[in-house]
Amino acid sequence: MERFQKVAVPIAAILIFVALWEALVWVNGWPDYVMASPSDLPAAYSRFWELFLTGSWQTLWRTVAGLTLAVVAGTGLGMIMGFSRIARDGLYPLLVGFNAVPKATLVPVLALLFIGQHDFNTVMMAFLISFFPIAVSVGIGLSTLEPEYRDILRSLGASKVTIFRKIALPKTLPEFFGALKVSVTLAFIGTNLVEIISPHGRGLGALFLSGQTNSNYPLMFAVLIALAVLGIILYYAVVALEKIFAGWAERPGG
Protein backbone atom coordinates (compact mmCIF):
# COMPACT_ATOMS: atom_id res chain seq x y z
CA MET A 1 0.00 0.00 0.00
CA GLU A 2 2.81 2.38 0.90
CA ARG A 3 4.61 1.70 -2.38
CA PHE A 4 1.40 2.25 -4.34
CA GLN A 5 0.88 5.56 -2.52
CA LYS A 6 4.38 6.74 -3.35
CA VAL A 7 3.69 6.12 -7.05
CA ALA A 8 0.04 7.15 -7.24
CA VAL A 9 0.25 10.43 -5.32
CA PRO A 10 2.90 12.07 -7.55
CA ILE A 11 1.10 10.90 -10.70
CA ALA A 12 -2.21 12.26 -9.38
CA ALA A 13 -0.57 15.58 -8.54
CA ILE A 14 0.85 15.86 -12.08
CA LEU A 15 -2.52 15.04 -13.63
CA ILE A 16 -4.24 17.67 -11.48
CA PHE A 17 -1.63 20.24 -12.49
CA VAL A 18 -2.13 19.44 -16.18
CA ALA A 19 -5.93 19.66 -15.81
CA LEU A 20 -5.71 23.03 -14.05
CA TRP A 21 -3.31 24.32 -16.72
CA GLU A 22 -5.68 23.23 -19.50
CA ALA A 23 -8.67 24.77 -17.68
CA LEU A 24 -6.81 28.06 -17.14
CA VAL A 25 -6.08 28.43 -20.86
CA TRP A 26 -9.62 27.40 -21.83
CA VAL A 27 -11.38 29.74 -19.37
CA ASN A 28 -9.32 32.75 -20.45
CA GLY A 29 -9.60 31.87 -24.12
CA TRP A 30 -5.89 32.31 -24.71
CA PRO A 31 -4.62 31.38 -28.20
CA ASP A 32 -1.49 29.24 -28.43
CA TYR A 33 0.64 32.27 -29.32
CA VAL A 34 -0.13 33.71 -25.88
CA MET A 35 -0.20 30.59 -23.68
CA ALA A 36 0.10 27.05 -24.93
CA SER A 37 -2.09 24.42 -23.29
CA PRO A 38 -1.18 20.78 -22.57
CA SER A 39 -3.30 19.69 -25.53
CA ASP A 40 -1.02 21.73 -27.83
CA LEU A 41 2.12 19.90 -26.77
CA PRO A 42 1.69 16.42 -28.34
CA ALA A 43 1.81 17.94 -31.82
CA ALA A 44 5.10 19.67 -30.98
CA TYR A 45 6.62 16.46 -29.63
CA SER A 46 5.41 14.51 -32.68
CA ARG A 47 6.83 17.02 -35.15
CA PHE A 48 10.20 17.60 -33.47
CA TRP A 49 10.73 14.28 -31.69
CA GLU A 50 14.21 13.74 -33.15
CA LEU A 51 15.33 17.19 -31.98
CA PHE A 52 13.87 16.49 -28.54
CA LEU A 53 15.76 13.21 -28.23
CA THR A 54 19.05 14.77 -29.34
CA GLY A 55 18.61 17.92 -27.28
CA SER A 56 17.53 16.02 -24.17
CA TRP A 57 20.61 13.80 -24.31
CA GLN A 58 22.92 16.79 -24.85
CA THR A 59 21.39 18.67 -21.92
CA LEU A 60 21.28 15.60 -19.68
CA TRP A 61 24.88 14.46 -20.04
CA ARG A 62 26.26 17.96 -19.50
CA THR A 63 24.08 18.37 -16.43
CA VAL A 64 25.15 15.02 -14.98
CA ALA A 65 28.82 15.83 -15.70
CA GLY A 66 28.54 19.19 -13.93
CA LEU A 67 26.66 17.62 -11.02
CA THR A 68 29.31 14.91 -10.67
CA LEU A 69 32.03 17.54 -10.45
CA ALA A 70 29.91 19.41 -7.90
CA VAL A 71 29.61 16.27 -5.76
CA VAL A 72 33.37 15.65 -5.81
CA ALA A 73 34.42 19.27 -5.23
CA GLY A 74 31.57 20.07 -2.82
CA THR A 75 32.25 17.00 -0.69
CA GLY A 76 35.97 17.71 -0.58
CA LEU A 77 35.46 21.36 0.33
CA GLY A 78 32.82 20.42 2.89
CA MET A 79 35.21 17.98 4.54
CA ILE A 80 37.86 20.68 4.82
CA MET A 81 35.39 23.10 6.39
CA GLY A 82 33.89 20.42 8.63
CA PHE A 83 37.20 19.36 10.16
CA SER A 84 38.89 22.77 10.33
CA ARG A 85 37.39 25.76 12.15
CA ILE A 86 39.90 28.10 10.51
CA ALA A 87 39.01 26.84 7.03
CA ARG A 88 35.32 27.12 7.85
CA ASP A 89 35.62 30.72 9.04
CA GLY A 90 37.69 31.65 6.01
CA LEU A 91 35.74 29.86 3.29
CA TYR A 92 32.14 30.49 4.33
CA PRO A 93 32.18 34.23 3.45
CA LEU A 94 33.77 33.45 0.08
CA LEU A 95 31.20 30.75 -0.70
CA VAL A 96 28.27 32.93 0.35
CA GLY A 97 29.58 35.86 -1.67
CA PHE A 98 30.12 33.73 -4.75
CA ASN A 99 26.70 32.15 -4.44
CA ALA A 100 25.12 35.61 -4.20
CA VAL A 101 26.45 36.55 -7.65
CA PRO A 102 23.74 36.02 -10.32
CA LYS A 103 24.97 33.06 -12.31
CA ALA A 104 23.58 34.51 -15.55
CA THR A 105 26.33 37.15 -15.32
CA LEU A 106 28.97 34.42 -15.31
CA VAL A 107 27.88 32.96 -18.64
CA PRO A 108 29.48 35.74 -20.76
CA VAL A 109 32.60 35.55 -18.59
CA LEU A 110 33.01 31.83 -19.25
CA ALA A 111 32.26 32.35 -22.95
CA LEU A 112 35.07 34.91 -23.17
CA LEU A 113 37.54 32.91 -21.10
CA PHE A 114 36.97 29.66 -23.00
CA ILE A 115 35.99 30.75 -26.48
CA GLY A 116 34.44 27.96 -28.50
CA GLN A 117 34.56 25.45 -25.62
CA HIS A 118 30.79 25.07 -25.49
CA ASP A 119 30.65 21.70 -23.75
CA PHE A 120 33.20 22.79 -21.15
CA ASN A 121 31.40 26.08 -20.49
CA THR A 122 28.06 24.31 -20.04
CA VAL A 123 29.47 21.69 -17.68
CA MET A 124 31.31 24.36 -15.71
CA MET A 125 28.17 26.43 -15.24
CA ALA A 126 26.23 23.38 -14.05
CA PHE A 127 29.07 22.73 -11.60
CA LEU A 128 29.37 26.33 -10.37
CA ILE A 129 25.68 26.68 -9.65
CA SER A 130 25.21 23.33 -7.90
CA PHE A 131 28.25 22.71 -5.69
CA PHE A 132 27.38 25.29 -2.98
CA PRO A 133 24.55 23.33 -1.25
CA ILE A 134 26.67 20.18 -1.18
CA ALA A 135 29.71 21.90 0.31
CA VAL A 136 27.67 23.66 2.98
CA SER A 137 25.66 20.56 3.98
CA VAL A 138 28.74 18.36 4.29
CA GLY A 139 30.60 21.08 6.21
CA ILE A 140 27.74 21.59 8.65
CA GLY A 141 27.20 17.85 9.07
CA LEU A 142 30.83 17.21 9.94
CA SER A 143 31.24 20.30 12.14
CA THR A 144 28.28 19.27 14.31
CA LEU A 145 29.64 15.78 14.95
CA GLU A 146 29.41 15.03 18.67
CA PRO A 147 32.92 15.31 20.17
CA GLU A 148 32.15 12.49 22.62
CA TYR A 149 32.14 9.97 19.77
CA ARG A 150 35.49 11.19 18.52
CA ASP A 151 37.01 11.12 22.01
CA ILE A 152 35.82 7.56 22.64
CA LEU A 153 37.13 6.27 19.32
CA ARG A 154 40.45 8.08 19.77
CA SER A 155 40.83 6.53 23.22
CA LEU A 156 40.34 3.15 21.57
CA GLY A 157 43.13 3.91 19.13
CA ALA A 158 40.99 4.73 16.06
CA SER A 159 42.61 6.85 13.36
CA LYS A 160 41.01 9.94 11.81
CA VAL A 161 40.22 7.91 8.71
CA THR A 162 38.38 5.33 10.82
CA ILE A 163 36.48 8.03 12.70
CA PHE A 164 35.43 9.60 9.42
CA ARG A 165 34.38 6.28 7.87
CA LYS A 166 32.55 4.88 10.90
CA ILE A 167 30.96 7.99 12.42
CA ALA A 168 31.30 11.17 10.38
CA LEU A 169 30.38 9.80 6.96
CA PRO A 170 27.16 8.00 7.99
CA LYS A 171 26.05 11.04 10.01
CA THR A 172 26.58 13.35 7.05
CA LEU A 173 24.80 11.21 4.43
CA PRO A 174 21.23 12.45 5.13
CA GLU A 175 22.33 16.09 4.82
CA PHE A 176 24.38 15.24 1.75
CA PHE A 177 21.49 13.64 -0.12
CA GLY A 178 19.17 16.46 0.92
CA ALA A 179 21.58 18.95 -0.62
CA LEU A 180 22.05 16.74 -3.69
CA LYS A 181 18.31 16.86 -4.39
CA VAL A 182 18.53 20.65 -4.47
CA SER A 183 21.69 20.58 -6.58
CA VAL A 184 20.00 18.43 -9.24
CA THR A 185 17.58 21.22 -10.14
CA LEU A 186 20.27 23.88 -9.88
CA ALA A 187 22.51 21.94 -12.28
CA PHE A 188 19.75 21.94 -14.91
CA ILE A 189 19.37 25.69 -14.46
CA GLY A 190 23.11 26.16 -15.03
CA THR A 191 23.09 24.03 -18.16
CA ASN A 192 20.18 25.90 -19.70
CA LEU A 193 21.60 29.31 -18.81
CA VAL A 194 24.53 28.61 -21.11
CA GLU A 195 22.37 27.01 -23.81
CA ILE A 196 20.08 30.06 -23.90
CA ILE A 197 22.29 33.04 -23.01
CA SER A 198 25.34 31.81 -24.93
CA PRO A 199 23.67 29.78 -27.70
CA HIS A 200 25.70 27.15 -29.50
CA GLY A 201 22.93 25.18 -31.20
CA ARG A 202 22.93 22.28 -28.76
CA GLY A 203 20.65 21.01 -26.04
CA LEU A 204 17.07 21.79 -25.16
CA GLY A 205 18.00 25.43 -24.66
CA ALA A 206 18.77 25.70 -28.38
CA LEU A 207 15.39 24.15 -29.17
CA PHE A 208 13.71 26.65 -26.86
CA LEU A 209 15.45 29.54 -28.65
CA SER A 210 14.32 28.12 -31.99
CA GLY A 211 10.73 28.14 -30.80
CA GLN A 212 11.11 31.69 -29.50
CA THR A 213 12.61 32.93 -32.77
CA ASN A 214 9.80 31.37 -34.79
CA SER A 215 7.08 32.37 -32.28
CA ASN A 216 6.27 28.68 -31.84
CA TYR A 217 4.91 28.83 -28.30
CA PRO A 218 3.76 25.18 -28.14
CA LEU A 219 7.37 24.19 -28.91
CA MET A 220 8.68 26.49 -26.19
CA PHE A 221 6.32 25.06 -23.59
CA ALA A 222 7.09 21.53 -24.79
CA VAL A 223 10.78 22.20 -24.10
CA LEU A 224 9.96 23.44 -20.60
CA ILE A 225 7.99 20.28 -19.87
CA ALA A 226 10.82 18.14 -21.26
CA LEU A 227 13.25 19.90 -18.90
CA ALA A 228 10.88 19.30 -16.00
CA VAL A 229 10.68 15.59 -16.87
CA LEU A 230 14.47 15.28 -17.01
CA GLY A 231 14.72 17.02 -13.65
CA ILE A 232 12.17 14.65 -12.11
CA ILE A 233 13.99 11.60 -13.50
CA LEU A 234 17.33 12.75 -12.10
CA TYR A 235 15.72 13.69 -8.79
CA TYR A 236 14.27 10.20 -8.35
CA ALA A 237 17.62 8.70 -9.31
CA VAL A 238 19.06 10.56 -6.32
CA VAL A 239 16.16 9.33 -4.16
CA ALA A 240 16.98 5.75 -5.19
CA LEU A 241 20.63 6.24 -4.22
CA GLU A 242 19.54 7.77 -0.92
CA LYS A 243 17.47 4.68 -0.11
CA ILE A 244 20.49 2.47 -0.83
CA PHE A 245 23.10 4.43 1.14
CA ALA A 246 21.06 6.34 3.73
CA GLY A 247 17.75 4.48 3.91
CA TRP A 248 18.26 4.01 7.65
CA ALA A 249 17.68 7.75 8.19
CA GLU A 250 14.15 7.69 6.75
CA ARG A 251 11.46 8.01 9.37
CA PRO A 252 8.79 5.29 9.28
CA GLY A 253 5.45 6.56 8.05
CA GLY A 254 6.99 9.90 6.95
* Domain membership flag for residue 27: no
Burial (0-12, 13-18, 19+ Cβ within 10 Å), 7: exposed
Average pLDDT, the chain: 86
* Domain membership flag for residue 12: no
Widest CA span in the chain: 74
Q: Does 127 have pLDDT greater than 90?
A: yes
d(CA 147, CA 233): 39
Residue 210 neighbours by CB under 8 Å, 6+ apart: 216, 219
User: What's the predicted TM-score (pTM) here?
Assistant: 0.86
Number of domains the chain is built from: 1
What CATH number has the domain bearing residue 159? 1.10.3720.10
* Domain membership flag for residue 4: no
d(CA 96, CA 33): 41
* Domain membership flag for residue 19: no
Domain of residue 109, residue span? 52-249
pLDDT tens track for 135-151: 988 888 877 776 776 67
* Domain membership flag for residue 235: yes
* Domain membership flag for residue 115: yes
* Domain membership flag for residue 167: yes
What confidence score (pLDDT) does residue 222 get? 93
